[in-house]
Amino acid sequence: MKEKLVVIGNGMAGIRALEELLKQDAHRYQITVFGKEPHPNYNRILLSSVLQGDTEVEDIILNNYDWYDENNIELVSGDPVAYVDTDTQTVYSAKGVERSYDRLIFATGSNPFMLPLPGADKEGVIAFRNIQDCETMIDTAKSYKKAAVIGGGLLGLEAARGLLNLGMKVDVIHLSDSLMEQQLDAEASRMLKEELETQGMKIHLNKQTEELVGGNRVEGLKFKDGDSLDADLVVMAVGIRPNIELAKETGLDVGKAILVNDHMETSHKNIYAVGECAEHREVVYGLVTPLFEQAKVLASHLCTEDCDGYEGSIVSTSLKVSGVDVFSAGEFMDTEETKSIRVHDEFEDTFKKVVVRDNQVVGSVLFGDTSDSPRILSMMRSGQDVSEMNKATILPSESAEDNAGSAVELMPDDENICGCNGVTKGEIVSAIKDQGLTTVNEVKQCTNASRSCGGCKPQVTELLSLATGEDATQAKEPMCECTEHSDEEVVASIREMGLTHIKEVMNVLGWETEDGCSKCRPALNYYLGMVNPLEYDDDANSRFVNERVHANIQNDGTFSVVPRMYGGVTNPDQLRTIADVADKYEVPLLKVTGGQRIDLLGIEKENLPDVWNDLGMRSGYAYGKGMRTVKTCVGEDFCRFGTQDSIGLGIELEKKFEGLNTPHKIKMAVSACPRNCAESGIKDVGIVGVEGAWEVHVAGNGGVDLKKSELLCKLETSKEVIDTVAAFLQHYREQAKYKERTSHWVERVGLDAVKKVVLEDEEERAALIERMDIALSDQQDPWEDIIDNHKKQQDLGFEKKEVSITT
């Protein structure tokens, strides 16, 4: 016969105790849980995320009904316990359910504290504590506009942010003169206030509410100083009070809450208390970490009776408001006995403070950048002597050597990442490695890390990135305002559903605008052409003017024309032609460009087709997202340093990739020697001749966003160079987002990943080259195309239309 265990309270503390118990000894007890709310156990800390719209109710359910079934736990929900008979060891529920117990756990949690103000019973006055409150707020926001939150503490601010997200106007009323005064010092509190005001909250400090006014429904607040405020909804978030009525009636010893010893035992034999309803060593905890620590101790005790007791917790707080990172722990105010380290950066709006007493860290406040919090907590717990340390060792994020690795990377393995659930870095890393985890969600399910408050998600994400070498920070980003789909999703849909034109994509994927916008249309046009190079009919109307009319528009409305000159080499005949054309059309400026071409500037739009025709040269594509020019240095023919035929290779490359559409412009260069006259080091593709070989560098950028290119590989023959460039460019074409330069793309996916596909995976390399050849097979010179096509000229508006008024 199993022992009978009854838990009063279906909240986080009680259930956590059961989970721990089941882990240690799954079959020892026959378990019954009584719960007042009609839900399975959920993560109360994330209620504010539900309210803020970041999470759904289902997402915060910690243990669904199946879990109770699987573990043979009887759940009596929606039915609170009414009476405990300690003599017969029996509990009775309100609806008459009766269970006897061998061991009984009180996990009744706490209730929100409602101020007994006149008018507090009106409709529209609520607390923020359970799913029902949350639902009330969501409903209210649909028909009312003005909310007031009483209480500028953690809970109040989270509620306020949620209401803001629901589209309400929010006033926060706080009795004290600074927000979260229990957790923050004056400076951090001031910064928090500024940030929240920027987000749209109105904050009233030093205000004491006197009365809630209105009819049936609340209509406003009156303050002691005579001011008043309109409100359709009043949320009271002034604190919680332990739920100990039943315990009192049962005869348990209570102080502020149910008194327990280090083994969570109450004054009565076989009766325990855990969580927010328990008072341990004169402290009642209202946070999740201590609650879990207590649960662990209680479970051990229930199984073995002989185990280490609970010694109290060091608590820390993080505020879960989007756009605000706040962390607070321990004694964070300066006193006579403490010394502190403070770093305040008004550029980044960050503030960090670590308080030290007797050479030990005793508290901290972090605002804006909380990445050091796990380390600080661990120092607080261990009581490490910091007398020999400086700010960089205590606050790793302030270390000057950012290359030496992030704060997470530097952490020792036994340091906690998830403070709530006590999961160490080592545990997470080994879970990722041993079980091949790839998402934060999987890590959460495997290790519990980030399962509770979610504050450590960034660190978990970073660990994932570090462990897998893949960037896990890539949160989904919609393509533009017309859709919720990301670029990746859209491309995947085009491929999977075989979509073939822009309108179709918009219809199938539920675009919110009828015709898209200047962000999605060019992108879709590109993706469709990239996926179906031969079948897709380019949509000129979805191209920017430069690409549509194949010339660069200038700020005076005229255009510039750059004819193709392979490798920057021309001849007397071409020069003669250019001179004649410039003469004929009175071109105001002829200029040799930095890309080693000749630019004819100041040409009127209506003259463009004629200019092209007279030039008889191909388009230099100086205007588009595509292969621009291949810059060369003079090479072995003329330069005394040159070791390779750079002009020859440059011409070959330019001829091969001429007219290729790419996500963003591609600039190439070939230098004959490492002196690098052609600036190969800052091009998308830069080839450099070295003794008997070519180095291929990729992903450089010469713009405002200067970036040096990285070495992809070293090759012997020009054929290999061209193949490799083809594979690289095709991979870029397929993987990069539209308007993403090679430098950003490679930074995002990592050079090693690119190498793997382009160089190492022979099969994929061959396939890339083949797909590139298909894409290139359909090239036609756009100028030629337009010169012979009067209809096109008319459609693209090359003709000038002058109207004179005759009256």
Q: Is there binding between residue 399 and other proteins (CB under 8 A)?
A: yes
Rule CB under 8 A: choose which of 216, 403, 777, 807 binds other proteins. Answer: 807
Binding string to other proteins for residues 676 to 715, with x set by CB under 8 A, is what? -xxx--x-------------------xxx-x---------
What CA–CA distance (Å, rounded) separates 395 from 417? 16
Total of chain residues touching other proteins, rule CB under 8 A: 94
φ, ψ for residue 19, nearest 5 deg:
-60, -45
Strand order in the sheet with 73-77: 73-77, 29-35, 3-8, 103-106, 271-273
Rule CB under 8 A: choose which of 28, 263, 391, 503 binds other proteins. Answer: 391
Rule CB under 8 A: choose which of 114, 545, 767, 776 binds other proteins. Answer: 545
Give 538-549 as a DSSP string.
Answer: --GGGS-HHHHH
Q: Is there binding between residue 582 and other proteins (CB under 8 A)?
A: yes
Of 1, 5, 3, the closest CA to residue 73 belongs to: 5
What CA–CA distance (Å, rounded) separates 338 from 363? 10
Q: Is 673 annotated as a binding residue?
A: yes
Q: Is 134 annotated as a binding residue?
A: no
Q: Is there binding between residue 572 and other proteins (CB under 8 A)?
A: yes
Q: Is there binding between residue 553 and other proteins (CB under 8 A)?
A: yes
Residue whose CB is less far from other proteins, 34 or 621: 621
Q: Is 677 annotated as a binding residue?
A: yes
What CA–CA distance (Å, rounded) separates 724 from 737? 21
Query: Is the CA virtual torsion 88, 93, 99, 105 positive or negative?
Result: negative
- Please, what is the minimum distance in Å from the beta carbon of residue 561 to other proteins? 13
φ, ψ for residue 625, nearest 5 deg:
-85, 95
Which residue bears the tokens 């722990």? 329
E strand intervals along 638-777: 666-671, 685-690, 693-698, 710-715
Provide the Cα torsion 80, 85, 90, 96; round to 10°.
-40
What CA–CA distance (Å, rounded) separates 24 from 302? 10
Q: Is there binding between residue 386 and other proteins (CB under 8 A)?
A: yes
Residue whose CB is less far from other proteins, 431 or 600: 600
271-273 vs 103-106, strand pairing mode: parallel
φ, ψ for residue 41, nearest 5 deg:
-65, 130
Residues 515-544 that bind other proteins (CB under 8 A): 515-518, 521-522, 540-544
Of 715, 572, 721, the closest CA to residue 650 belongs to: 721
Q: Is there binding between residue 560 and other proteins (CB under 8 A)?
A: yes
Q: Is there binding between residue 557 and other proteins (CB under 8 A)?
A: yes
φ, ψ for residue 567, nearest 5 deg:
65, 10
Q: Is 633 annotated as a binding residue?
A: yes
- Please, what is the minimum distance in Å from the beta carbon of residue 686 to other proteins? 13
Query: What are 384-387's contacts with CB under 8 Å, separation 24+?
Result: 384/360, 385/359, 385/360, 386/356, 386/359, 386/360, 386/361, 387/359
Residue whose CB is less far from other proteins, 19 or 636: 636
Q: Is there binding between residue 770 and other proteins (CB under 8 A)?
A: no
- Please, what is the minimum distance in Å from the beta carbon of residue 357 to other proteins? 11
Region label for 711, one of left (φ > 0), alpha (ψ between -120 and 50) or beta (otherwise) = beta
The helix or strand, by DSSP H or E, that contains position 85, with its residue range, turns out to be: strand 81-85
Count the residues in the chain. 807
Residues 634-673 that bind other proteins (CB under 8 A): 634, 637-638, 640, 647
Residue whose CB is less far from other proteins, 140 or 560: 560
Residue 318's contacts (CB-CB under 8 Å, 6 or more residues apart) are 325, 326, 327, 328, 370, 373, 453, 455
Residues 261-290 that bind other proteins (CB under 8 A): none
What CA–CA distance (Å, rounded) separates 677 from 686? 11
- Please, what is the minimum distance in Å from the beta carbon of residue 514 to other proteins? 5
Binding string to other proteins for residues 93 to 132, with x set by CB under 8 A, is what? ----------------------------------------
Residues 124-183 that bind other proteins (CB under 8 A): none
Residue range at the interface with other proteins (CB under 8 A); choices 125-133, 215-223, 388-396, 692-700: 388-396
Residue whose CB is less far from other proteins, 468 or 558: 558
Rule CB under 8 A: choose which of 461, 596, 662, 742 binds other proteins. Answer: 596
- Please, what is the minimum distance in Å from the beta carbon of residue 353 to other proteins? 9
Q: Is there binding between residue 507 and other proteins (CB under 8 A)?
A: no
- Please, what is the minimum distance in Å from the beta carbon of residue 748 to other proteins? 21
Q: Is there binding between residue 390 and other proteins (CB under 8 A)?
A: yes
- Please, what is the minimum distance in Å from the beta carbon of residue 403 to other proteins? 12
Q: Is there binding between residue 441 and other proteins (CB under 8 A)?
A: no
Rule CB under 8 A: choose which of 598, 611, 729, 757 binds other proteins. Answer: 598
Residues 302-341 that bind other proteins (CB under 8 A): 339-341
Rule CB under 8 A: choose which of 145, 576, 675, 756 binds other proteins. Answer: 576
Instruction: Judge whether 21 and 29 are in contact, CB under 8 Å.
Output: yes
Give 153-175 as a DSSP string.
Answer: SHHHHHHHHHHHHTT-EEEEE-S
Within 13 A of 592's CA, how many CA atoms are on the CB side?
6
Q: Is there binding between residue 803 and other proteins (CB under 8 A)?
A: yes
Q: Is there binding between residue 403 and other proteins (CB under 8 A)?
A: no
Residues 779-798 that bind other proteins (CB under 8 A): 794-797
Q: Is there binding between residue 800 and other proteins (CB under 8 A)?
A: yes
Feature table: binding site: 633, 639, 673, 677
Feature table: binding site for siroheme: 677
Feature table: binding site for [4Fe-4S] cluster: 633, 639, 673, 677
